Structure 1
Amino acid sequence: MQLFGRKMPLRAQIGLAIVIVNLLAAIFVPVIAPYPEAEVVGRAWAGSSAEHWFGLDNLGRDILSRLLYGARLSIGLSLLITTLSFSMGVFGGFAAAVLGKAADMVLSRIVDLLLSMPALIFAMVVLSVLGTDLIVLIVTISVLDATRIFRVARALAMDIEALDYVEVARLRGEGLWWIVRREILPNAVPPLVAEFGLRFCFTFLFISALSFLGLGIQPPNADWGSMVKDYSALIMLGVPAVFYPAGAIAALTIGINMLVDWLLSINTVRR
């Protein structure tokens, strides 16, 4: 199997397959989920059966259905937040690299201020004060993640800006926007794509952690982090429900990392 004109090793193919399966589950969940996510269909903690493959949860809802709906919300929200944070981080990082020392100093100090605070504690404080609305959650995590991406984008842009072909473009009279669009951005895409995958994983796990603490996605909406929280108390009684959302989180994270490792190896070879 080939992707980006290169043959994919088995490990990368497994990672891609895991990602595709999760994306298909998230997209087609209304079709494939046997029950609505919040519908009570039986007694609490009923075991596995032909009608309920993974059993029922603490309120009598179908665990498989909630797992599938949780994929849509967890993956969709993580993808949205990662896209927003990348937009802010890459724009800010490139601006700091090409606009001169004054802009670099101002932007870098703002980022340093945000980075000086532990991300989880900062998010918990903001969400505790402003509430756990989805908009607040999205903006908070996007801003926190953008600071990490700013550092990567700034370093990439500064490295590329110092290369000979960029200097030749300047001497040729090309404008700043042209240089960023035609010289810096195309050469920064491969490492940024790999970084996007890594940041998606971190965002995905961060949302799950907040949901586990009760500050993320709120019921009755299903997401994997809050499902782990709801089901964890029953693990000592031999109820395996907690392993389903926890396993889904682990599988998607491992799959993305397998794919990202291959993308990083391609970029290393190209360099």
Structure 2
Amino acid sequence: MSARIGLFIILVYVVAAAFAPMLAPYRETEIVGEVWEPFGGATLLGTDQLGRDLLTRLLYGARNTISIALATTLLSFAMGAASGFLAAILGGWIDNILSRMVDILMAIPILIFALMILSILGTSVPVLILVIAVLDSTRVFRLSRAVAMDVAVMDYVEVARLRGEGLWWLMRREIFPNTLAPLVAEFGLRFCFVFLFISALSFLGLGLQPPAADWGGMVRENAGAITFGIITPLLPAAAIAVLTIGVNLVVDWFLHHTSGIRDES
């Protein structure tokens, strides 16, 4: 049941992100009323600190935030899993060099490191994706290397080596299919982390830049409304929380399902 709830939440967010221009009643940056108008009327969820429709901003924020988080997670997994498999299969000095590089990056607090790099390189979307993907790939490397080392000593991998199969074959046909379950679960968890991390950077002013809609930035921009008892900043915060809960529900179900544990009737 929890997995169905999680899938439903994810589906709603995906539809909102994919069809934001068609679902939104106004343009992303269009000013349609006074500052912090209440719910109802022409603006279903009221307006923000500039008089823009909040529902429209939430829909476009879904498209911007989720697409950036998904692209970042995919890139981090491509880099982390490939390097982790490489270290597990080849071992020796290659494994030592890659592992020590990852240890150095993981020793630096990720938020401080990201803030420093983004302050130097700027906060364009490609830079934002690349910086977070590189930092997050260290966690993927540790997991993929650990699970790949367990698989690399199996008899069927040794048979493939004796047949003369190359490195790419071993990674693609022998290691990857047998490490898929933990990697899929980790993908969901990493997506949640990246999603929250991007929102945190936007809240600090180093994420997606105005006037583009972004949930973390919307919380920061409308934070002053709380002083007047207006709940406008709580809506993008709730959107962040609900999606995180939905993804975690699906990940928990997947881990339970792949672990072989069955609920007793």
In the superposition, the TM-score normalised over structure 2's length comes to 0.95
Partner of residue 167, structure 2:
176
1:77 correspondence with 2:68: yes
CA shift for structure 1 position 166 = 2.0
Partner of residue 118, structure 1:
109
Assess, with a 3 A threshold, how the Cα gap between structure 1 residues 176 and 134 changes in structure 2: closer, same or farther.
closer
Aligned-partner SS, 1:194:
helix
| Residue 228 of structure 1, aligned match among 219, 241, 248 | 219
Partners of 2:49 and 2:220 in 1: CA distance: 11
CA shift for structure 1 position 180 = 2.1
Partners of 2:13 and 2:245 in 1: CA distance: 12
Aligned-partner SS, 2:29:
coil
CA shift for structure 1 position 168 = 3.3
Partners of 2:139 and 2:91 in 1: CA distance: 21
CA shift for structure 1 position 254 = 0.1
Partner of residue 4, structure 1:
none
The amino acid that maps onto 1:257 is: N
**Percent of counterpart pairs with the same letter?**
57
Partners of 1:218 and 1:201 in 2: CA distance: 21
The Cα offsets for residues 39-89 of structure 1, whole Å up to 9 and x where unpaired, read as 001111111122111101110000000000000000000000001111000
Partner of residue 99, structure 1:
90
Partners of 2:7 and 2:241 in 1: CA distance: 15
Partner of residue 255, structure 2:
264
1:196 correspondence with 2:187: yes
CA shift for structure 1 position 172 = 4.4
Partners of 2:168 and 2:116 in 1: CA distance: 39
Partner of residue 243, structure 2:
252
Aligned-partner SS, 1:71:
helix
Partners of 1:199 and 1:40 in 2: CA distance: 36
Give the aligned length. 261
The amino acid that maps onto 1:192 is: L
Correspondence 1:1-271 to 2 at 5 A: 10-269=1-260
CA shift for structure 1 position 173 = 4.2
The Cα offsets for residues 116-164 of structure 1, whole Å up to 9 and x where unpaired, read as 1000000000111111111211111010011110111111110111223
CA RMSD of aligned residues (A): 1.2
Partners of 1:173 and 1:37 in 2: CA distance: 56
The Cα offsets for residues 171-202 of structure 1, whole Å up to 9 and x where unpaired, read as 44444332222211101111111111110000
Partners of 1:112 and 1:267 in 2: CA distance: 30
Partners of 1:159 and 1:89 in 2: CA distance: 17
Partners of 1:174 and 1:191 in 2: CA distance: 25
**Unpaired runs of at least 5, structure 2:** none
The amino acid that maps onto 2:4 is: Q
Partners of 2:23 and 2:165 in 1: CA distance: 53
The Cα offsets for residues 224-260 of structure 1, whole Å up to 9 and x where unpaired, read as 0001111222113110101110110000000000001
Greater Cα offset, 202-211 or 184-193: 184-193
Partners of 1:35 and 1:205 in 2: CA distance: 27
Aligned-partner SS, 2:94:
helix
Partners of 1:120 and 1:236 in 2: CA distance: 28
**Unpaired runs of at least 5, structure 1:** 1-9
Aligned-partner SS, 2:179:
helix
